[in-house]
Amino acid sequence: DVSESAANPSTIDRKRIRRIIRFGDTTVGEAMIPLADVVGVSESRPMKEAMRVVMKYGFNRLPVYRGNITNIKSIMTLSSWDLMDPALKNKPASDYMSSVLFLSPKQTIDRALPQLQARDDHMAVVVDEFGSAVGILTMEDVFEEVVGEIDVGYDFDEYNPRQRVYIEHESEDSHLMSGRMPISEINDILYAKFPAEEAHTVGGLIISRLRHIPTVGDNITEQGYRLTVLEADERSVLRVRAERL
């Protein structure tokens, strides 16, 4: 859901200014696409399977994994020109794979940007301290931190682009948001001071405080706000209400 304020041009301009100011402090972990939302392909699958995934989801760059998607080994890039080649399905998938740039979620995006720019695929895999993938970062994700959502221009029938997350204001003191809303953006919009050191998102903060996966109705009090879980599944917090106390 996008609030009315998100559609107001002056509000959007103010948001862009805030994004520019905090650009140097934004971490890779805040800007990345979480692994749960990443589409990849197994290295054991044939080229025609990779082509099917590209056509279905609209991503021309795919992480290639071994065993499971936390173990990403390479990046496959299939351009529109490649997809028009009738002989593509019979070619070795390895011909379209490149090595992986690995980044820490703690790294700032201003330092990651030159590394992404130096690559033809403009993509990196974000890994935790154990080397397991936790997300991916692209040039588009970095730019969106400043200018907002970018239309990548794909027009495949089943393509569902990544949606920016906004706050819906119920009142001056009550706000609805996705569990994946970055804490840094919440702080900017609500002028709050939620800690961003232990979690990147409001859902992660709630989980960190409760020390278990929350259920609907669970809540915490933080920095003068009550954060209440409105929706959750077995793995994460989906929707949150923030009420000023």
pLDDT in tens, 110-165: 888 889 999 988 999 999 888 899 999 988 878 776 665 554 444 444 434 445 55
Q: What is the pLDDT of residue 24?
A: 64
CB 193 within 8 A of CB 187: yes
CA distance 104 to 135: 10
Q: In 3-state terms, what secondary structure has residue 157?
A: coil
Express as a percent the part of the chain with pLDDT over 90.
36
Q: In 3-state terms, what secondary structure has residue 80?
A: helix
More confident residue, 70 or 27: 70
Q: Which two tokens stand for residue 106?
A: 């703690």
Q: What is the pLDDT of residue 4?
A: 43
**Is it the case that residue 68 has pLDDT exceeding 70?**
yes
Read off the pLDDT of residues 193-238 as tens digits, 9 standing for 90 and up. 898 877 888 998 999 999 898 999 999 999 999 999 999 988 889 9
More confident residue, 184 or 127: 127
More confident residue, 91 or 200: 91
Q: Which two tokens stand for residue 180?
A: 């994946």
Average pLDDT score over residue span 165-181: 87
How many other C-beta atoms can be found within 10 angstroms of the C-beta atom of residue 19?
18
Return the DSSP state at 221: E
**Is it the case that residue 243 has pLDDT exceeding 60?**
yes
Q: What is the Cα Rg of the chain in Å? A: 19
The residues, ordered by sequence, that sit 6+ positions from 167 with a Cβ below 8 Å of its Cβ are 3, 6, 175, 176, 177, 181, 186, 189, 190
Express as a percent the part of the chain with pLDDT over 70.
81
Q: What is the pTM of this model?
A: 0.67
The residues, ordered by sequence, that sit 6+ positions from 206 with a Cβ below 8 Å of its Cβ are 179, 214, 218, 219, 220, 227, 229, 237, 240
**Which of the residue ranges 9-23, 99-113, 136-150 would you say has the lowest mean pLDDT?**
9-23
- What CA–CA distances, in Å, run from 73 to 7, 64, 98, 104, 116? 40, 6, 9, 16, 17
Q: What is the pLDDT of residue 200?
A: 82
- What CA–CA distances, in Å, run from 138 to 9, 94, 116? 26, 21, 7
Sorting pLDDT into bands at 50, 70 and 90, what band is 3?
A: very low
More confident residue, 142 or 98: 98
Q: What is the pLDDT of residue 234?
A: 85
